[in-house]
Structure 1
Amino acid sequence: MPNTYFQFKQFRINQDQCAMKVCTDSCVFGAYLEVRQAKRVLDIGTGTGLLALMVAQRSEAEVEAVEINPEAQVQALQNFVESPWADRLKLHPMPLQEFAETCTQQYDVILSNPPFFLASLKSDNAAKNTAKHTGDLLFEDILTFAQKHLTQDGKLYLLLPPAEANHFAELAQTHALYLTETMEIFTRIGGKCIRHVQTYTCNPKTNTLTKTLYIRKEDGTTYTPDFSELLRDYYLIF
């Protein structure tokens, strides 16, 4: 049975009501985001609120989050209220499409770990389907919103599997958003690439910088120094 919570150094993620639990690649994503200078941040599809809380820990930004799932809305709000940064966290309990109709803010950072399986079969778990598939939150909706609501020097960050990341990059160009950096996340040294962290801006660049992060060493058990350093401010074990 999964734990009902995940304890970080400065906050706790209660997750018993959410289909998608805290996972390593999401933690890497949250720790990697450049947010220290950001004044306003939006997390699209916040789930438990993990990424919003990771952002709040290492910035002074006003952090907003959008979530469609009712159970996740309750859980995220609980996690926000119980955190040290409750006064800087705001939940919008609605789909992105509805939020976009009335939003007038500009954001320095927009981030999302969106539903991503474009072609895979859905499970019998409706909540997990909403969290993992693009039926309710389409890539185009994220791009349309970001194109309108990113500041001129703002950044859009996505966490996606490799195939879906490539597809998103193609769509982004039609919305005048440009891939400037990709970090490829591998399970271990010599292992499989499981996710891409993508950085998009409104400013075209001729070359895309590619980085790599290996979670574990060749033995598949020991964390690499790069991973340990990245998560040092969050994981209790470091």
Structure 2
Amino acid sequence: MPRNAHFRFKQFTVRQDQCAMKVCTDACVLGAWADVGDADRILDIGAGTGLLSLMVAQRNSYAMIDAVEIDAEAFYQAGENVERSPFHDRITLFHSAVQEFVSDHQYDVIITNPPFFQSDLLSPIDKKNIAHHSKSLDFEEILVAIGRLLKPEGKVNMLFPVEEGVRFAEKAGQAGWKLVRKTTLFHQEDKKAFRVLLLFQRVEFAHNVQVDSDLYIYEKDGVTHDRRFKELLKTFYLKF
């Protein structure tokens, strides 16, 4: 298997040759950063390779995790990744658009790296359009799905490019959600921010003070990993 066809973590391996979206650092940060403590049921919207579900399962040793994926090839590959992992008995995959996904229960936590770059030009590759753009799931539909599937006191963890995150937070606020935690992700200190990680709760349940922080992947030399980044990913990355 070619090296870029899989990504090995300490407790599981993610095969990705059938998926448009490969394992990327920002998604790994989301999986390690997300607030998933004390959750009995977790929903992963847009499972892709299954990366986030697997990371969450490693961090929360008892939660049952449902993962929804619209793309057939990604769905089957995620299934293979889950089945080969130590967490296969707690992760259930559904081949569905989240707009059509029906569950018998609501979730304590939702985690999602949703379609983004709503204002960018579309790629000629349809799979990448689905993964990168709002072609199949726009902000309003995400908010409707979250509102329907999340428990009233539940939490939703999300990853966006910076400008998209600002726009989504505005729409979420208008829909009754409060941003309770935010981390801005940089490659290194002298570079422009490229992602934001956002945690929302419904306004009436959001009692914690919002915490804004910055996270750098590398130190100023662009080679040495930042201490806080290493601390966040040390239970997942082999090199840490």
Q: Check whether TM > 0.5.
A: yes
SS for the counterpart of 2:171 is: helix
Give the structure 2 partner of residue 12 of structure 1.
13
Matching residue of 2:65: 63
Distance 1:35 1:233 in 2: 15
Cα distance, 1:175 vs structure 2: 2.2
Is the contact made by 2:35 and 2:157 (CA closer than 8 Å) also made in structure 1? no
1:134 aligns with 2:131: no
**Structure 1 position 27, deviation (Å):** 0.5
Q: How much has 1:148 moved relative to structure 2?
A: 2.5
Aligned to 1:38: 39
SS in 1 for 2:75: helix
Q: Which letter maps to 1:232?
A: K
Runs of 4+ deviating beyond 4 Å: 204-207
Give the structure 2 partner of residue 180 of structure 1: 180
Q: Distance in 2 between matches of 1:32 and 1:73?
A: 24
Q: Which amino acid aligns with 1:55?
A: V
Distance 1:236 1:211 in 2: 26
Identity %: 44
The secondary structure found in structure 2 opposite 1:193 is: coil
CA drift of 1:141 comes to 1.6
Provide closer, same or farther for how the CA distance between residues 2 and 133 of structure 1 changes in structure 2, counting only shifts above 3 A: farther
8 A contact 2:32–2:232 mirrored in 1: yes
Distance 1:135 1:151, change over 3 A: same
**Structure 1 residues 109-128: aligned runs within 5 Å:** 109-128=109-128
Q: Aligned equivalents of 1:174 and 1:147: distance in 2?
A: 13
Unaligned runs of 5+ in 2: none
Whether 1:225 and 2:227 are equivalent positions in the alignment is: yes
Amino acid at match of 2:131: A
**2:90 corresponds to 1:91:** no
Which region of structure 1 is more displaced relative to structure 2, 75-84 or 196-205? 196-205
Say whether residues 1:201 and 2:210 are aligned partners. no
Q: SS state of the match for residue 136, structure 1? A: coil
Return the alpha-carbon distance in structure 2 between the equivalents of residues 17 and 94 of structure 1: 17
**Cα offset, 1:147, TM superposition:** 1.6
Please say if residues 112 and 157 of structure 1, whose CA atoms lie closer than 8 Å, have aligned partners that are also in contact.
yes
CA distance in 2: counterparts of 1:126 and 1:106, whole angstroms: 31
Q: Does structure 1 residue 214 correspond to structure 2 residue 216?
A: yes
Measured in 2, the distance between the counterparts of 1:205 and 1:130 equals 35
Aligned partners of 1:144 and 1:175 also within 8 Å: no
Q: Which moved more, 1:110-119 or 1:173-182?
A: 173-182
Residue-by-residue CA offset, 1:50-91 (whole Å, 9 max, x unaligned):
000000011111011000011101110101111101110000
- Could you give the per-residue CA deviations for residues 157-188 of structure 1, whole angstroms, max 9, x where no partner exists? 11001110011111112321111111000111
- The alpha-carbon distance between structure 1 residues 52 and 218, as it changes in their structure 2 partners (threshold 3 A), is same
SS in 1 for 2:194: strand
- Aligned match of 1:161: 161
Counterpart position of 2:50: 49
- The 3-state SS of whatever aligns with 1:179 is strand
CA distance in structure 2 between the aligned counterparts of 1:170 and 1:207, rounded to whole angstroms: 18
Letter in 1 for 2:213: K
Distance 2:3 2:32 in 1: 23
Verify the 8 A CA contact 2:161 2:196 in the aligned structure 1.
yes
Give distance in 2, aligned partners of 1:87 and 1:139.
32
